[in-house]
Structure 1
Amino acid sequence: MPAFVGAVKVNSVGGSSVFNIGDVFTISPSSNAKTYAGAGSFNTGDGLYVLNRQSSTNTYDRDVVDQPIAGNA
C-alpha cells in the first residue's frame, strides 16, 4: 500500500544511519569499527581498584580487512 507523506525536514543524518520515507521491504544499515584499548579501559562499576603497572596495547594488524561489508547491500 503506498504511503502518503507530507512535508519533511531533515536536519542531519549520521554516517551509519538510515533515513526512509514511504514503503520499504528491508532496511539493513551496515558499518564496522576497530577499537584499540589498553588494560583496564572498559572497566565499569563503583569502587574499582585497577592496578596496571606496565601496559602496552598492540595496534599492529597484518590483515587489511577484518569485517568486510562490501557485499552486504
Structure 2
Amino acid sequence: MPAIVGAVSVNSVGTASIFHIGDVYTIAPSANSKTFAGAGSFSTGDGLVINNKISSTNTQDQDFIDQPIAANA
C-alpha cells in the first residue's frame, strides 16, 4: 500500500542495518562477526564468584572462513 512520506533524516546506517521507505517484497539483511572471550567473560548476575585459575583464549583461526554469507541475499 503506497504511502506519502515527508522529510526523512538518516544520521547513520550500520553494516547490518536496512533503511527502507515504500513497498517491499523481501528484506534480508546479512552480517557476520566473530567474538573471542576468555573463561567467565559473559557471566552475568548478582554475587558471582568466578575462579578461572589460569585461562587463555585461542584466537588463531586455521580455516579463515567459518560461515560465508556471500550470495545469501
Q: Assess same fold via TM > 0.5.
A: yes
1:69 and 2:51 aligned? no
Partner of 2:12: 12
Deviations 1:32-71 (A, max 9, x none): 1101011111111001110111001111111121111111
- Find runs of 4+ consecutive structure 1 residues off by over 6 angstroms: none
Question: What pairs with 1:1-73 in structure 2 (closer than 5 Å)?
Answer: 1-73=1-73
| Superposed displacement of residue 4, structure 1 | 2.7
For residues 1-52 of structure 1, the C-alpha deviation after alignment (integer angstroms, 9 at most, x for no partner) is 4333222111111121000111000111110110101111111100111011
Structure 2 alignment gaps of length 5 or more: none
Q: Which runs of 5 or more residues in structure 1 are unaligned?
A: none
Q: Which amino acid aligns with 2:23?
A: D
- Count how many residue pairs are aligned between Structure 1 and Structure 2: 73
Q: AA paired with 2:18?
A: V
Q: Distance in 2 between matches of 1:65 and 1:48?
A: 35
